[in-house]
């Protein structure tokens, strides 16, 4: 059904409400409306989905599979409407029916199947692949519980389960007929056949059924629909087993079923901290085994080509090492099931897989104990072992200069399996996610691998979909941009650069100012509704929203806030530009120090917001449960984007890109993609401070930094640290002693004190710049203008031409 007008859409909604919800408009809730509109959109999507699949099959196109343990897709109704070209009509129709469109869209539960940046990147990539008409699909896990929901109670983070499937999820389609079996454990028997070849048989394995749930990924105005396939773990022939067994066996069977379902039970709530747990390893293997089985079977069924051509038609991108077991699993299938020899299988494997590295933080580099791998995946372990033997022999004989380095290169060392090393060795491409990050990989972390395989390494700076992060979340800014430079930027975001011509145009700057003011008013009332805190839209909205981690240095931010507060208390007449500091951050539930920092932010906020003497000048807001939807509320209203990680630690960051695109100015260190932002806008259009990555790495290697020296010399710092202990921001003394000792006894591992002075100075420059309206607005416009480079469309085009070697299927009349 094509909708020409809002009237037609109104009719469709009224019908759907009756048919699917048994409701009239009068007794429909926002949620009923959400389901009705979703059903209408889903029907539209389904027919285009079938068409896209048919074309892929007919043309036997080369397909991309993006394997990821996380897809942080957020809500889908509004972005699906936008991409289908129905958003305006739907907004009009809902309004005509007496509903607030935003409230209807907010009835959708966020799909929080990711921790943060890595999972959100996967979601942006899916959007860009479909919008650019690349045949690219996601493979992930349908966790029954997504990332925990955060509540703040008396300053403390409390975690609640996120049961996002409680009410029906309208975007998924269960595909029973495409379920596959995955095997764990058991024993491996090796037989030598008459012809001398080896055969491997598995005995006593635990069998798990992987059932796919497919979600449509809708391209922007192009009728291309790709697939995000999420796997759910179920017990095979559970009903059969249960009905044929009585008594105690019945309960045993139920327990067994429960343990199987645990595999897709919940998302591990760790970000940047590697968590080595048996269940997590099961999840990883479950994802790769099910995905590869389904990729191979659709290749065989749809393409009818010999398996030896698979690498021409399939490329698999591995999102960090979490899905890197795909490499030995693919070897296993080729050898044990398809009867390839090692060499042929290895050659193929190395043509299929490409690996993205996301971090150089050593605590985040995945390693699994040999014993655990052997027990859970005996055949996979044998293959990893053989990969390692062959690799080590090759180094020993062909690269004698690297013999001493073997312990740092081998896949298996110290009884541990080093997943990043395996991923590098088993794939044809290794990429970092921003220039500096790739340079650190090539020249430090993986320098020997880089000498061994120089052609394998490349950079792919991350990106974000400008459709969600500008068109959808900031319609006023998007509209103003289109009115000013035309609409071409929507399909070609690099065209945003045309805005530069208006960066000194007074009337345009006024309009930019109006848009930001409006967005700040909206956020201000949102904050009031959520927290009861009154904020002034005329104040500087200074925003830090991201996972809570020591290296991201929310601590440095709150130290600055405390410093400002101290100054205002000392000198109440001080003339300052009013500031509103906005935080959003979840800490991993077991990350004690991170939770203490959350508490410090909240307690500081409580003291400051309730201090009548300064209430006009300073406000601190911690918005609980930071997720995609909350990001969508905050980002359009940000003036300052805090990107203050310890240099060298943040691989890329993508929050920095989202805020830049919405006209916020970056206050940051020379880290991750901040460096590339600076290369574009220049240092006049952002606020840079702090140690460089080189300096940080120098201190780590050679020492020479003593945090206590700064504490002794800098009164401002001493006062803040002492306040942590004397109860100024707590309900008791020593409440924040772990933060205190981390800095003074553990020598401030993330250089908070070292960068403090430079950070304060940068904030003073922020204030000066903000006082000069036109300068500020012109900086803001310059940032928007250059942000096109950070559209994930650019990133995906680079992956497509330089790694995947696929072309868009544009121009096929069927799809246009």
Ligand X SMILES: *Cc1c(COP(=O)(O)O)cnc(C)c1O
Element (H, E) at 201: strand 198-203
Q: Left (φ > 0), alpha (ψ -120 to 50) or beta: where does 24 sit?
A: beta
Choose between 421 and 649: whose C-beta lies nearer to ligand X: 649
Choose between 432 and 730: whose C-beta lies nearer to ligand X: 432
Helix axis angle for 554-570 and 592-609, nearest 10°, is: 30
Q: How far is the CB of 643 from ligand X (least distance, A)?
A: 7
- Three-class SS state of 364: helix
Residue 150, beta-bridge partner list: 159
Choose between 328 and 653: whose C-beta lies nearer to ligand X: 653
Does 627 bind ligand X (CB under 6 A)? Our answer is yes
Does 763 bind ligand X (CB under 6 A)? Our answer is no
d(CA 122, CA 72): 7
Range 508-547, binding ligand X (CB under 6 A): 546-547
d(CA 417, CA 762): 44
Element (H, E) at 230: strand 225-234
d(CA 540, CA 763): 11
Q: How far is the CB of 124 from ligand X (least distance, A)?
A: 9
d(CA 555, CA 576): 22
Choose between 65 and 143: whose C-beta lies nearer to ligand X: 143
What are the residue ranges of helices labelled H in 635-673?
655-661
- Cβ pair 499, 785 in contact under 8 A: yes
Q: Which stretch binds ligand X (CB under 6 A): 232-240, 338-346, 625-633, 708-716?
A: 625-633
Choose between 6 and 660: whose C-beta lies nearer to ligand X: 660
Q: How far is the CB of 655 from ligand X (least distance, A)?
A: 2
Helix axis angle for 752-771 and 715-726, nearest 10°, is: 110
- Cβ pair 641, 558 in contact under 8 A: no
Task: Encode 277-316 in three state secondary structure.
Answer: CHHHHHHHHHHHHHHHHHHHHHHHHHHCCCHHHHHHHEEE
Is 223 a known active-site residue?
no
**Structure tokens given for 681:** 């806008």
Active-site choice (358, 520, 560, 595): 358
Is 221 a known active-site residue?
no
Q: Which stretch binds ligand X (CB under 6 A): 22-30, 169-177, 416-424, 624-632?
A: 624-632
Q: How far is the CB of 271 from ligand X (least distance, A)?
A: 8
Q: Which stretch binds ligand X (CB under 6 A): 169-177, 500-508, 623-631, 688-696?
A: 623-631
Choose between 118 and 809: whose C-beta lies nearer to ligand X: 118
Task: Of 504, 463, 525, give the one whose Cα is nearest residue 781.
Answer: 504
**Dihedral, 71, 77, 82, 86 alpha carbons, nearest 10:** 150
Range 642-671, binding ligand X (CB under 6 A): 653-655, 658
Is 438 a known active-site residue?
no
**Structure tokens given for 367:** 């390693």
Q: How far is the CB of 546 from ligand X (least distance, A)?
A: 4
d(CA 139, CA 127): 14
- Cβ pair 620, 668 in contact under 8 A: no
Does 432 bind ligand X (CB under 6 A)? Our answer is no
Is 654 a known active-site residue?
yes
**From the CA atom positions of the chain, what is the Rg in Å?**
27
Q: How far is the CB of 683 from ligand X (least distance, A)?
A: 21
d(CA 283, CA 295): 18
- Three-class SS state of 587: coil
Active-site choice (224, 604, 646, 654): 654
From residue 386, alpha-carbon distances to 198, 328, 383, 645 in Å are 14, 10, 5, 40
Q: How far is the CB of 99 from ligand X (least distance, A)?
A: 26
Q: Which stretch binds ligand X (CB under 6 A): 147-155, 626-634, 678-686, 706-714?
A: 626-634
Q: How far is the CB of 766 from ligand X (least distance, A)?
A: 19
One character per residue 291-320, x = contact with ligand X (rule: CB under 6 A):
------------------------------
Choose between 116 and 136: whose C-beta lies nearer to ligand X: 116
Task: Of 9, 12, 81, give the one whose Cα is nearest residue 41.
Answer: 81
What phi and psi values does residue 319 have, to the nearest 5 degrees?
-85, 95
Between strands 172-174 and 206-218, the pairing is: antiparallel
- Cβ pair 416, 369 in contact under 8 A: yes
**Structure tokens given for 699:** 């201190």
Owner of token pair 């403090």? 756
Choose between 388 and 666: whose C-beta lies nearer to ligand X: 666
Active-site choice (516, 547, 563, 763): 547
Residue whose CB is nearest to ligand X in the complex, by number: 655
Q: How far is the CB of 675 from ligand X (least distance, A)?
A: 14
Choose between 645 and 780: whose C-beta lies nearer to ligand X: 645
Q: How many CB atoms lie within 10 A of CB 160?
A: 11
Range 81-120, binding ligand X (CB under 6 A): 116-117, 120
Does 136 bind ligand X (CB under 6 A)? Our answer is no
Choose between 614 and 664: whose C-beta lies nearer to ligand X: 664
Chosen residue from 481, 556, 582, 628 binding ligand X by CB under 6 A = 628
Choose between 364 and 376: whose C-beta lies nearer to ligand X: 364
Q: How far is the CB of 473 from ligand X (least distance, A)?
A: 10
The span from the first CA to the last CA of the chain, in angstroms, equals 17
Q: How far is the CB of 677 from ligand X (least distance, A)?
A: 12
| Burial category of 93 from C-beta neighbours within 10 Å (exposed 0-12, middle 13-18, buried 19 and up) | buried
Active-site choice (460, 467, 560, 658): 658
Q: How far is the CB of 624 from ligand X (least distance, A)?
A: 13
Active-site choice (75, 516, 552, 579): 552
Size of the site for ligand X (CB under 6 A): 12
One character per residue 544-563, x = contact with ligand X (rule: CB under 6 A):
--xx----------------
- Cβ pair 77, 38 in contact under 8 A: yes
CA 378 to chain CA mean position, Å:
32
- Cβ pair 200, 379 in contact under 8 A: yes
What contacts 191, CB < 8 A, 6 or more positions away?
Answer: 198, 199, 200, 201
Sheet of 640-643: strands edge to edge?
618-622, 579-584, 540-545, 640-643, 665-668, 687-688
Q: How far is the CB of 531 from ligand X (least distance, A)?
A: 19
Is 393 a known active-site residue?
no
Choose between 328 and 584: whose C-beta lies nearer to ligand X: 584
What contacts 362, CB < 8 A, 6 or more positions away?
Answer: none
Owner of token pair 């880089």? 450
Is 547 a known active-site residue?
yes
Choose between 557 and 609: whose C-beta lies nearer to ligand X: 557
Does 631 bind ligand X (CB under 6 A)? Our answer is yes
Contact set with ligand X (CB under 6 A): 116-117, 120, 546-547, 627-628, 631, 653-655, 658
Return the active site residues.
Answer: 358, 546-547, 552, 654, 658
């Amino acid at each position: 059904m094509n909708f020409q007008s809002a009237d037609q859409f109104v009719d469709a909604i009224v019908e759907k409400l009756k048919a699917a919800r048994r409701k009239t408009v009068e007794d429909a809730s926002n949620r009923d409306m959400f389901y009705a509109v979703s059903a209408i959109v889903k029907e539209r999507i389904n027919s285009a989905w079938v068409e896209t699949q048919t074309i892929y099959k007919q043309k036997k196109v080369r397909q991309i599979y993006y394997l990821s343990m996380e897809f942080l897709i957020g809500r889908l109704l509004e972005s699906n409407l936008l991409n289908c070209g129905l958003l305006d009509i739907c907004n009009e129709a809902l309004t005509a029916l007496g509903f607030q469109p935003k409230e209807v869209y907010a009835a959708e539960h966020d799909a929080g199947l990711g921790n943060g940046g890595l999972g959100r990147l996967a979601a942006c990539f899916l959007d860009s692949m479909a919008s650019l008409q690349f045949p690219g699909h996601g493979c992930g896990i349908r966790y029954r519980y997504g990332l925990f929901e955060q509540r703040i109670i008396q300053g403390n983070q409390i975690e609640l389960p996120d049961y996002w499937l409680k009410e029906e999820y309208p975007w998924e389609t269960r595909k029973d007929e495409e379920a596959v079996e995955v095997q764990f454990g058991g024993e491996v028997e090796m037989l030598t056949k008459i012809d001398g070849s080896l055969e491997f048989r598995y005995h006593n394995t635990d069998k798990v059924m992987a059932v796919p749930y497919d979600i449509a990924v809708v391209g922007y105005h192009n009728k291309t629909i790709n697939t995000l396939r999420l796997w759910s773990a179920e017990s095979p022939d559970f009903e059969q087993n249960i009905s044929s067994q009585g008594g105690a066996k019945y309960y045993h069977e139920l327990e067994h079923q429960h343990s199987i379902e645990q595999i897709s039970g919940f998302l591990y709530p760790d970000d940047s901290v590697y968590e080595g747990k048996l269940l997590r390893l099961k999840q990883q293997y479950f994802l790769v085994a099910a995905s590869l089985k389904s990729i191979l079977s659709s290749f065989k069924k749809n393409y009818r080509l010999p398996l030896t051509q698979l690498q021409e038609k399939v490329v698999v991108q591995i999102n960090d090492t979490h899905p890197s077991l795909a490499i030995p699993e693919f070897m296993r299938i080729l050898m044990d099931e398809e009867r390839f020899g090692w060499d042929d299988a290895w050659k193929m494997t190395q043509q299929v897989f490409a690996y993205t590295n996301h971090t150089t933080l050593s605590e985040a580099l995945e390693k699994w104990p040999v014993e655990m791998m052997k027990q859970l995946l005996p055949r996979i372990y044998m293959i990893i072992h053989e990969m390692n033997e062959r690799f080590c022999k090759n180094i020993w004989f062909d690269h004698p200069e690297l013999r001493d380095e073997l312990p740092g290169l081998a896949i298996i060392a110290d009884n541990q399996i080093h997943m990043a090393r395996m991923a590098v060795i088993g794939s044809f491409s290794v990429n970092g996610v921003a220039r500096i990050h790739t340079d650190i990989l090539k020249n430090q972390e993986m320098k020997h691998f880089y000498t061994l395989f120089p052609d394998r390494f490349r950079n792919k700076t991350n990106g974000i979909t400008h459709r969600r992060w500008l068109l959808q979340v900031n319609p006023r800014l998007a509209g103003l941009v289109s009115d000013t430079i035309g609409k071409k930027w929507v399909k070609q975001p690099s065209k945003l650069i045309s805005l530069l011509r208006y960066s000194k145009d007074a009337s345009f700057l006024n309009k930019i100012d109006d848009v930001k003011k409006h967005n700040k008013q909206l956020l201000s009332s949102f904050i009031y509704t959520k927290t009861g805190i009154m904020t002034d839209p005329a104040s500087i909205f200074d925003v830090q929203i991201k996972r809570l981690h020591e290296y991201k240095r929310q601590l440095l931010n709150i130290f600055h806030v405390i410093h400002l507060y101290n100054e205002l208390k000392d000198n109440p007449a001080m003339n300052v530009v009013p500031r509103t500091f906005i935080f959003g951050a979840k800490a991993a539930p077991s990350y004690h120090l991170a939770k203490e920092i959350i508490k410090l932010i909240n307690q500081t906020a409580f003291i400051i917001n309730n201090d009548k003497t300064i209430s006009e000048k300073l406000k601190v807001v911690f918005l609980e449960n930071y997720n995609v939807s909350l990001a969508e509320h905050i980002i359009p209203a940000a003036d300052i984007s805090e990107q203050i990680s310890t240099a060298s630690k943040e691989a890329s960051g993508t929050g920095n890109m989202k805020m830049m695109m919405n006209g916020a100015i970056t206050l940051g260190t020379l880290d991750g993609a901040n460096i590339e932002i600076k290369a574009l806008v220049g240092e006049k259009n952002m606020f840079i401070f702090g140690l460089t990555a080189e300096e940080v790495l120098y201190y780590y290697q050679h020492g020479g930094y003593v945090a206590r020296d700064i504490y002794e010399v800098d009164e401002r710092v001493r006062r803040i640290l002492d306040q942590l202990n004397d109860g100024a921001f707590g309900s008791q003394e020593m409440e924040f002693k772990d933060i205190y000792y981390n800095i003074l006894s553990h020598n401030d591992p993330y250089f908070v004190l070292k960068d403090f002075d430079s950070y304060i100075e940068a904030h003073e420059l922020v204030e000066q710049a903000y006082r000069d309206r036109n300068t500020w607005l012109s900086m803001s416009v310059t940032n928007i203008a250059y942000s096109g480079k950070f559209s994930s469309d650019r990133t995906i085009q680079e992956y497509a031409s330089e790694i995947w070697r696929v072309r868009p299927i544009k121009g096929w009349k069927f799809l246009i």
